[in-house]
């Protein structure tokens, strides 16, 4: 009995992990919001790991239902200003997070340093940039930017002053050295997202989480497929 009580207490004290299939209250945004541009980086090799990431079996944006509904409203407000959403990542399986951690701990692999962390040693990435547990795994966090049509009708990313997943202080939303235009673009995204209940992570201008979180203590691990 004592062992059972100790085990139960340990389980209650640690985040829950659901390794089953996608819950009924999660949705595929590529179906609900086909007008957005989806550049799901971890499904391919164009990312800081340099290879497809475990758990990303399809280039889909999966979100919990409340976050999905809020993002639809963000897209509607953006469209009213001639803008679209470009989405890089949504729900992230804990399997993928573990892949990130293995990559971060392999200090011999620096093949993506020039593009993603030119001013930092790889040993400095875990913590502020790469976490052992990611809020993305709770299903209501999203990485995204805004795009606008150019004179030829092509959708182009707004200039945000740094690229997605650039591990550098330059990616801090309020970095003092970005231009007025870049700051205005970051704040346009911030304004649109905050209006629908999303909060920005100050270290990364592209990173937003719904507040409050629908699953604050659960980290899911179903694959994206």
Q: Check whether 143 is labelled as a binding-site residue.
A: yes
Which is nearest to 186 in space by CA: 158, 147, 156, 148?
158
Q: How confident is the model at residue 4 (pLDDT cuts 50, 70, 90)?
A: very low
Domains (ranges, CATH) in the chain? 30-220 (3.30.1380.10)
109 is in an annotated binding site: no
**Predicted pLDDT of residue 128:** 81
* Residue 11 pLDDT > 60: no
- How many angstroms separate the CA atoms of 63 and 209, rounded? 11
Find out whether 43 is annotated in a ligand binding site: no
Q: In whole angstroms, give the CA distance from residue 39 to residue 72.
A: 17
CA distance 39 to 46: 10
pLDDT at 183 over 90: yes
Task: Taking each helix axis as running N to C, give the angle between helix 180-194 and helix 65-79, from 0 to 180 degrees, rounded to the nearest 10.
Answer: 130
Q: What is the mean pLDDT of residues 166-170?
A: 97
* CB-based contacts of 69, cutoff 8 Å, min separation 6: none
| Cα–Cα distance measured from residue 26 to residue 196, given in angstroms and rounded to the nearest whole number | 18
Q: pLDDT tens for residues 61-116?
A: 999 999 999 999 999 999 999 999 999 999 999 999 999 999 999 999 999 999 99
- pLDDT of 16 reads 65
Q: What is the pLDDT of residues 110-164, one digit of tens each?
A: 999 999 999 999 999 998 899 899 999 999 999 999 999 999 999 999 999 999 9
Q: Name the strand (E) or helix (H) holding 98.
A: helix 94-105
Known catalytic residues are 204
The pTM assigned to this predicted structure is: 0.92
Query: What percent of the chain stands above pLDDT 90?
Result: 88
Distance between CA atoms of 14 and 61, rounded to whole angstroms?
27
């Amino acid at each position: 009995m004592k062992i059972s009580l100790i085990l139960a207490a340990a389980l209650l004290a640690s985040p829950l992990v659901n390794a089953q299939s996608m819950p009924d209250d999660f949705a595929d945004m590529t179906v609900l919001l086909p007008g957005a541009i989806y550049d799901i980086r971890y499904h391919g090799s164009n990312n800081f790991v340099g290879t497809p990431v475990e758990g990303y079996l399809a280039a889909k944006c999966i979100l919990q239902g409340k976050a999905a509904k809020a993002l639809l409203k963000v897209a509607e407000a953006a469209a009213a200003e001639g803008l679209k959403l470009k989405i890089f990542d949504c729900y992230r399986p804990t399997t993928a997070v573990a892949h990130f951690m293995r990559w971060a701990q392999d200090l011999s692999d620096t093949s993506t340093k020039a593009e993603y962390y030119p001013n930092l040693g790889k040993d400095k990435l875990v913590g502020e940039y790469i976490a052992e547990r990611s809020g993305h795994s709770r299903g209501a966090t999203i990485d995204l930017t805004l795009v606008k049509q150019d004179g030829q009708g092509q959708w182009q990313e707004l200039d945000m002053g740094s690229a997605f997943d650039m591990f550098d202080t330059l990616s801090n939303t309020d970095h003092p050295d970005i231009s007025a235009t870049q700051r205005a673009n970051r704040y346009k995204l911030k304004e649109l997202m905050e209006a629908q209940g999303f909060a920005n992570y100050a270290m990364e201008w592209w990173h937003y989480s719904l507040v409050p979180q629908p699953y604050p203590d659960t980290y899911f691990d179903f694959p994206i497929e």
